[in-house]
Structure 1
Amino acid sequence: MLTSYRGSIHPLGSTVTDKGVNFAVFAGSAKQVYLCLFDKSGHTEVKRLAMFKHEGGYWSLFIDGAQQDDLYGFRVDGTYNPDKGHLYNPHKLLLDPYCRDFFGEFVWSERHFCHMPVGFLNSNDNACDMPKSKVTQVSKYQGKKPNTPWHKTLIYECHVKGATARHPDIPDKLKGTFLGLAETVFIDHLKHLGVTAIELLPVHAFISEQFLTTKGLQNYWGYNTLSFFTPHKDYLVNGDINEFKQMVERFHDAGIEVILDVVFNHTAEGGIDGPSISFKGFDNLSYYSTPANKPSVYINDTGCGNTLNISNPIALRLVLDSLRYWVEYMGVDGFRFDLAPILARQAEGFSPHHTFLQALHQDPVLQQVKLIAEPWDIGPGGYQLGRFPAPWREWNDRYRDTVRRFWRGDLGVLPELARRIHGSSDLFEHNQRGPLHSINFITSHDGFSLFDWTAFEQKHNLANGEGNRDGHSENYSFNCGVEGFTSDSEITQLRLQMQKNALLTLLLSKGVPMICAGTEMAHSQNGNNNAYCQDNFTSWLAWKNHQQHHPLAFFIQDVLSLRKQFAAFNHPFYVHDRDSRFAVSWFDEHAESLSPQQWREPKRKWLSYSITDQQLGQSLLIIFNASDSVVAMTLPSSAFSSHWQLALTTASTVNSEHNSEQLQVPAKTAWVYTSIKGDEKHG
């Protein structure tokens, strides 16, 4: 016999105690909230209990005898008036916004819609198609975190399923799961590359949009959140959410941090005509942004139907509580925030002083983790690269596009290339940030893979079912002479060379480098640059000859080894003229300083520059030739030895005279030389 009475509103969600379980939710202007208990099958509602109202719109109920793994949901009664933004409908079973786990699956049906059509309350009960919240007690993470400094960080952006779904050495039952990623063979692969942080595409429980399921497709990437506290159930082997924590601990034991790509800009409930499965039913206007005096309309700065209202203290609390949970209980080391300007947008626009940003900075838990912004969205003033305050890092798409354009051979790129490879001071220095605040990347989950950047000039997205209209049309790509795959050995070699050019540029630029999973094995998506719904071989990594490693994997390893030897890449500040320690010099093909006129020559597609560290007595000379012809380069005088020593090149063959003062630099190649005090070796 269960006994219930008034409980506590702290903490929100379900909390297990020695006597029973406390339930607490926020349901702003509701008239009544009901806690619905279900049997172990999740099919039958066995009890419906009225909750107690507290000040501020909070509701609670304590149940003696309730216990771990009990299944439940909520029904909320109140005003139904879409014109006023009120969507209370007691016929809808709602998922607890704070549930740590749930049981069952979400099934699309018309029963989920609050109204049918808009303006007419839908009285169909949706409980049979809803997962049930599950009472779950989770212990705090006890593992030791790597705490890798930014200057030693290499990020590997990765999809949980796609990384291991085709790996031949991972047991079938673990493929595509958190525990699959935690397998030694995959972790060893990351360590071989030199990865220090794995950035996972969304792992919060998510569902596929109805417009995809009707076409037989699924939301593969996961940017459609159902629950901000529950790990995505399809990534679990035995349905135990602690498997996520086991994965994190194994990564930490290997010295690898775990960063989560989080989606706090919108939810899976869509627009006003979307389903009512959680937040809408508790308090629509507290959780979602609407225009002033138009509560019936959702602001849609995401393109997904709704925008989470982070300016509201209720939604703000939800986000902060979720972030702290994943750090304290699940052990993660940081977050990459999808469409981050939304999180700091006020009525008058984006503000680097937004309450959300300030709350993060003063939070004793969250101020210690890595914070990365995707600094753009489709809302007003949506492009905010460089405007986030310290300690935020930002994805630098200006870096991505500039490096792609340079190696493609575009005209007039040289001045911007110089800014990007030296940390983008024009973007970050204005608010006292340094080069390590730039997350440099060439490719990510969104867009062409690095191989496809060298094999396709047009997107090929027909498989997405949108008539090839989705995805970016300009990718600054270069197909090396043939669109798509070819057996032509010269084109194949050029493509490998181009990938190496991009990787060498990335890994020898100032900033924090990020590579996309599959880059190291020349993964192709067959020209699909928006594979968000391709849960198949298009997206899953093909582990061919994985035990020998791809040449690109060894190349990444070699460039990273060189990067670690030179302190200039660790330096947290920008290098300017008359710097007491570091110097950057730019040369033309005659080893003379580049003149202002030469910088402006649009047809100049080659560059030579040195980075010198007077304190350690070391210097790098880097030469890029993105033109279509050989360029004769005179090497400048070496700072610390009689000769420059060749360290790396992307050229397929090296002329025996490569150490002479005159270097014939082949088209589409990069070269790196070193000069170290006391090292007179050459050859």
Structure 2
Amino acid sequence: MRLGASVEADGVHFAVFSAHADRIELCLFDPAGIQESQRLPLPGRTEGGVHFGFVPDLAPGALYGLRAHGPFAPHEGHRFDASKLLVDPYATRLDRPFLYHPWLAAPPERRIDTAPLVPRAVVEDLSRDARPLPFAKPGFTYELPVRAFSQMRPDLPQRLRGTLAALAEPASLDHLTRLGVETVELMPLAAAIDERHLSALGLTNAWGYNPIPHGAPDPRLVPGGWPEVRRVVDALHARGIRVLLDVVLNHSGESDRYGPTLSYRGLDNKSYYAASPDDPDALVNDTGTGNTFALWREPVARMALDALKNWVEIGGIDGFRYDLGTVLGRTPEGFRPDAPLLQMIAADAVLKDRVHVAEPWDIGPGGYQVGAFPKPFLEWQDRFRDDIRRFWRGDAGTVSALATRLSGSPDLFDPKTRVPSDGVNFIDAHDGFTLRDLVSYETKHNGANGEGNRDGHGDNHSWNNGAEGLTRDPGILERRRRDVRALLATLFVARGNPMIVAGDELGRTQGGNNNAYAQDNETFWIDWPAADDELIAFTARLQRLRRALPSLSLDRFLTGETVEGEMDVVWLRADGGEMRPEDWADGNRALLGLRLAGGSEAALVYFNRGWQPLDIHVPEPASGRSVWLELLSDRPEAEPRPFDIGQVLTLGARSVAILREG
């Protein structure tokens, strides 16, 4: 039985899961969504706890909500309250966005009808014939916050700024195409609500990681609903760009026991949420948001699976990035690679051939599961992020860690069953410093979030190049620009899928705020008028070079073994010789070079994190080959040119050089 509202020729069928409710009522509203015009009990009930009923002559466009009757017995895990209007977990469209109000969390004895405060679900008859692109690994991925991406873009129509529709405009598509983006990863689009403490602070959530429900686009981001999703996805597909969607299946925006009752809590708190075995009213908080979905239970896992299928079948989405993905594999015994939902995703006919990228951690016990996810899941690589930052910051003894990350992180993935493209490498993501701030701030500056600078990561492996934050010192500014280019070059020559955050390529700053979730304002929005066009061009050049030199992106771990008659990698010193054990053990070493075999061509890459230039003796090329100097990150304006092996390559301080042998 399909849950939610299903349009039929002579009316609409409604079905909703609740194993513990005494009865469920369907509430219909007038076309303006103001007056509750009818309240109809759902008469049918299956043994599995699905309540259902049919309303004849009802048509698409009808507005509805739900009310659930049952005991309000928190000590037993039940929080039924018929005064609370509830949003259908299977809603596909809402008539208005969520707005937090304290009355949404009022106890039942106050008998506050929350209908004026809750969005109405809209009955829709949706086509499910969208066609995602054929499966491919993500490649160069661009993490994109939809509202922040276009809110300050002057070359877009005002009415489209801050919406998904802005991505289908030529200015947006041209920028992505210029960069060579292969996959856009949209931050959450599902309808979400602000955390209760933000309302008191006069702040709003800019990220969208607080959803209710999971399969309905947020009216603020996608005012055109599903047709708009599909149109934008089609426009990106027409440019050859895949679309992943960041989904938050680990929790809902209802928070802890003191949070609002909007949907899941009111329908069946005991079924949907994981709770302490000793206190059914104490919700498990493996997510840090106040609640955690019990995704090992079949109805809850089915809700998550059906939401994913909506995004694929209706919207054409090519795959997903799973926020706090470890929760998807949690059971009462802890994380299991064979957990029910992970198996359901891998076996589902609609989902099995999509792209699935896990954020492989949460904050619960045993929550760090990098390398433990089963096929077909790819995984974010925070070890790449930290080790690359530590190398370029100048931490002692990090050359070996750099080599491991460049090799595709074989220490984290089983080389017998995994490949480098199972990892997504990044220097920064939405939750942390921007790339520019990483080299401009030693400490976080989150005072605007209203939490006394206690929020956000404290250990960022960041540095400021001589001054904290804003400065007019030309020397410091140049060092920061040089470091940003070196970090980007490192990302693009490593094995695996490279990912940047929208704005990295143009010098975006958040003023040192490394947890800008509460800054739906100029702090988080991308400042297009201040864009660094030279950095955009440099980023695009790195991607072109990565595509042109297969040795930079071959999908096999670097092992030092012979492949097709050549060693797949040779690690090099400045004098052209191979690295020796004592070289690897030198904690003060500032240089690492490597030669990457790649069929008819090879690549040579050198990293100098030191503050002084170094003279490099480039090894003799293979017989019949010549060498081209393709890129110097400290001289981004320099064009590729032939390189005479008899010459010495002077590698600038804090820079990367890429050469092609062919």
Fold shared per TM-score above 0.5: yes
CA–CA separation in structure 2 for the residues paired with 1:107 and 1:485:
35
Structure 1 residue 664 corresponds to structure 2 residue 655: no
Report the Cα offset of residue 579 of structure 1: 2.9
1:244 corresponds in structure 2 to 229
1:128 corresponds in structure 2 to 116
1:96 corresponds in structure 2 to 88
CA deviation profile, 1:484-541 (whole Å, cap 9, x unmatched): 1222222222211111101111011110010110011111111111100111111111
Alignment check: 8 A CA contact 1:501 1:669 kept: yes
Report the Cα offset of residue 417 of structure 1: 0.7
CA deviation profile, 1:566-589 (whole Å, cap 9, x unmatched): 223443332434333252001122
Alignment check: 8 A CA contact 2:552 2:596 kept: no
CA deviation profile, 1:544-576 (whole Å, cap 9, x unmatched): 276xx7111111221222211222344333243
Give the alignment partner of residue 203 of structure 2, picking from 217, 220, 224: 217
2:620 corresponds in structure 1 to 637
Q: Compared with structure 1, are the counterparts of its residues 83 and 430 closer, same or farther at alpha carbon in structure 2 (3 Å cutoff)?
A: farther
CA deviation profile, 1:631-668 (whole Å, cap 9, x unmatched): 23222222245653211001238799974443332211
Structure 1 residue 340 corresponds to structure 2 residue 325: yes
Classify the secondary structure of the residue corresponding to 1:186: helix
CA deviation profile, 1:7-53 (whole Å, cap 9, x unmatched): xxx21001111101111111112111111111112221111111112
CA deviation profile, 1:437-485 (whole Å, cap 9, x unmatched): 1100111111111111111111111111111111112211121111112
Alignment of 1:145-294 (within 5 A): 145-147=132-134, 149-150=136-137, 153-237=139-223, 239-294=224-279
Q: Compared with structure 1, are the counterparts of its residues 602 and 355 closer, same or farther at alpha carbon in structure 2 (3 Å cutoff)?
A: same
Report the Cα offset of residue 605 of structure 1: 1.6
1:621 corresponds in structure 2 to 604
1:3 corresponds in structure 2 to none
2:35 corresponds in structure 1 to 44
CA–CA separation in structure 2 for the residues paired with 1:340 and 1:142:
26
Classify the secondary structure of the residue corresponding to 1:296: strand
Structure 1 residue 415 corresponds to structure 2 residue 400: yes
Q: After TM superposition, where is structure 1 displaced by more than 6 Å over at least 4 residues in a row? A: 653-658
2:19 corresponds in structure 1 to 28
CA–CA separation in structure 2 for the residues paired with 1:390 and 1:661:
48
CA deviation profile, 1:337-391 (whole Å, cap 9, x unmatched): 0001111012222111111111111111111110001111110011111111122
CA–CA separation in structure 2 for the residues paired with 1:423 and 1:674:
20
Partner letter of residue 147 of structure 1?
P
CA–CA separation in structure 2 for the residues paired with 1:153 and 1:434:
13
Q: Give the aligned length.
A: 656
CA–CA separation in structure 2 for the residues paired with 1:316 and 1:322:
10
Alignment check: 8 A CA contact 1:634 1:663 kept: yes
Comparing 218-227 with 27-36, greater Cα deviation is found at: 27-36
CA–CA separation in structure 2 for the residues paired with 1:149 and 1:57:
39
Alignment of 1:33-72 (within 5 A): 33-52=24-43, 53-72=45-64
Alignment check: 8 A CA contact 2:6 2:12 kept: yes
Comparing 164-173 with 472-481, greater Cα deviation is found at: 472-481
2:367 corresponds in structure 1 to 382
CA deviation profile, 1:49-84 (whole Å, cap 9, x unmatched): 111122221111101111111111111111221100
Alignment check: 8 A CA contact 1:176 1:235 kept: yes
Structure 1 residue 562 corresponds to structure 2 residue 545: yes
1:679 corresponds in structure 2 to none
CA–CA separation in structure 1 for the residues paired with 2:309 and 2:625:
55
1:76 corresponds in structure 2 to 68
Give the alignment partner of residue 425 of structure 1, picking from 385, 410, 413: 410
2:8 corresponds in structure 1 to 17
Classify the secondary structure of the residue corresponding to 2:220: helix
Structure 1 residue 373 corresponds to structure 2 residue 358: yes
Alignment check: 8 A CA contact 1:619 1:639 kept: no
- Unmatched 5+ residue regions in structure 1? 1-9, 677-683
Q: Compared with structure 1, are the counterparts of its residues 657 and 603 closer, same or farther at alpha carbon in structure 2 (3 Å cutoff)?
A: farther
Classify the secondary structure of the residue corresponding to 2:540: helix
Partner letter of residue 47 of structure 2?
E
Classify the secondary structure of the residue corresponding to 1:470: coil
Classify the secondary structure of the residue corresponding to 2:37: strand
Classify the secondary structure of the residue corresponding to 1:360: helix
2:78 corresponds in structure 1 to 86
2:451 corresponds in structure 1 to 466
Report the Cα offset of residue 220 of structure 1: 0.7
Structure 1 residue 552 corresponds to structure 2 residue 535: yes
Q: Compared with structure 1, are the counterparts of its residues 58 and 665 closer, same or farther at alpha carbon in structure 2 (3 Å cutoff)?
A: same
CA–CA separation in structure 1 for the residues paired with 2:517 and 2:386:
21
Alignment check: 8 A CA contact 1:141 1:245 kept: no
CA–CA separation in structure 2 for the residues paired with 1:18 and 1:642:
71
